[in-house]
Amino acid sequence: MRARGAVLVEIGRERPYASSRPVEVVDVELDPPGPGELLVRMEAAGVCHSDLSVVDGNRVRPVPMLLGHEACGRVEQVGEGVDDVAVGQRVVMAFLPRCGECANCRTEGRLPCTPGSAANNAGELLGGGRRLHTSDGAELHHHLGVSGFATHAVVDRRSAVPVDDDVPPEVAAVLGCAVLTGGGAVLNAGKPGEGDTVVVVGLGGVGMAALITAVSLGRGDVIGVDAVPEKLARASELGASAVFTPAEALENGLKAPVVVEAAGNARAFETAVALTGVGGTTVTVGLPAPTAEATITPLGITAEARTIVGSYLGSAVPARDIPTYAQMWREGRLPVDALISSTTTLDGINEAMDALAEGRAVRQVVLFDVPGDAPAGAGGGGSGS
């Protein structure tokens, strides 16, 4: 079938992307879902820094690639053998499918699935190969098994987590990456105890999700650190007990038992390590360029019995954790809506990448027009904060 999607045609074009237009919104061809796969009609898709990192070359992926990995939609067709989701079911995409069979899949989310990671790196689906083609039949890569910046996608069943209809599309989309990653960095990796302060370094979509998750626990102070004043103001509104620029946090000698780094650069990682107190844990979530290097003092780690832990996909089991976050949202304990700084349309995607790169957004969400629903994203295309 024919779909319309946002395809990255070339890595590393100059900013502003509104002028250089590395992402083109074009017609694409989708194969029908194979065995164990789903055809999903997209309703909403969030713009994450991990999309931007493919555009700017920090995270090298094969191109052309249909971007977008934080998305939600409704199942429109199921492939052979899929008997546990029905047509019409709303699903949240998980950006790393878990095969459920490899050794890493038996670690309760601690380690990323081996075949899932290999498929993602190759721009393929977990079942192998691609279901995406350009309109003239050339190869087109999937992004993290999702490619959610499109009207439709074919995904592996294991890349999709059902959610109830009461979770609106834009909230459901953001559960798939920002909340799963940021929330999991706190709940699954940092695991603050009673009274423990949690510091979050980097307050974009992922870091802000970590912050609201820590606030919802109510175990101790939650402190936000970012260089952008608007991000600090937002963190205060969302319940941070204090906010600092990185320089202020370091000068104040701030130390905490749990520090989450969600900025994605080596300086922020160094800051997060420096803010971690005796016996504390630094959880690093950001994905800097593969060549980025950081400096830390080994003696401090040893003598202070500190831990540095990497967390991918929120160290999560998406099928277990996404319903938990949906329930926290439902009960009013996790204000996921507050992470959404603006909405846009597929045609506004280059502008949205600029806004993200310039620190003007927390989470921007692309809304799709779905027949039968009220028009979504009408008048969008802008991408302010």
Ligand X SMILES: NC(=O)c1ccc[n+]([C@@H]2O[C@H](COP(=O)([O-])OP(=O)(O)OC[C@H]3O[C@@H](n4cnc5c(N)ncnc54)[C@H](O)[C@@H]3O)[C@@H](O)[C@H]2O)c1
- Given the complex with Zn ion, which of 50 and 216 has the nearer CB atom? 50
- Contact between residue 94 and residue 126 where contact means Cβ atoms under 8 Å apart: no
Window 251-270: contact mask with ligand X (x via CB under 6 A): -----------xxxx-xx--
Q: What gap in Å lies between CA 337 and CA 272, rounded to an integer?
A: 27
Q: Which does 271 bind (CB under 5 to 8 A by kind): ligand X, Zn ion, none?
A: ligand X
Partner interacting with residue 228 (select from Zn ion, ligand X, none; CB below 5-8 Å by kind)? ligand X
DSSP state letters, 171-219: HHHHIIIIIHHHHHIIIIII---TT--EEEE--SHHHHHHHHHHHHHTS
Our CB check for ligand X shows the closer of 3 and 285 to be 285
Supply the minimum distance, in Å, between the C-beta of residue 212 and ligand X: 13
Q: Which of 67, 105, 240, 262 binds Zn ion (CB under 5 A)?
A: 105
**What's phi and psi for 137, nearest 5 deg?**
90, 5
Contact call for residue 126 and Zn ion (CB under 5 A): no
Binding site partner of 227, from Zn ion, ligand X, none, Cβ cut-off 5-8 A by kind: ligand X
**Residue 50 touches Zn ion, criterion: CB under 5 A:** yes
- The answer to whether residue 175 forms part of the interface with Zn ion (CB under 5 A) is no
Q: CA-CA distance, 204 to 78, in Å (whole number)?
A: 35
Helix%, strand%, coil% for the chain, nearest 5: 30, 25, 45
Q: Name the residue whose CB lies closest to ligand X.
A: 204
**CA-to-CA distance for 378 and 48, rounded, in angstroms?**
22
Least spacing, CB of residue 178 vs ligand X, in Å: 6
- Residue 270: exposure state from Cβ atoms within 10 A (0-12, 13-18, ≥19): middle
Q: How many residues at the interface with ligand X, by CB under 6 A?
A: 34
Write out the binding residues for ligand X, residues 276-295 only, by CB under 6 A: 285-287
Under DSSP, the state recorded for 137 is: S
**Candidate ranges 54-62, 170-178, 183-191, 241-249; the one touching Zn ion (CB under 5 A):** 170-178
What is the longest distance spanned by two Cα atoms in the chain? 62
Residues within the interface to Zn ion (CB under 5 A): 48, 50, 99, 102, 105, 113, 177
Residues within the interface to ligand X (CB under 6 A): 48-50, 53, 177, 181, 201-207, 225-228, 231, 246, 262-265, 267-268, 271, 285-287, 311-313, 356, 359
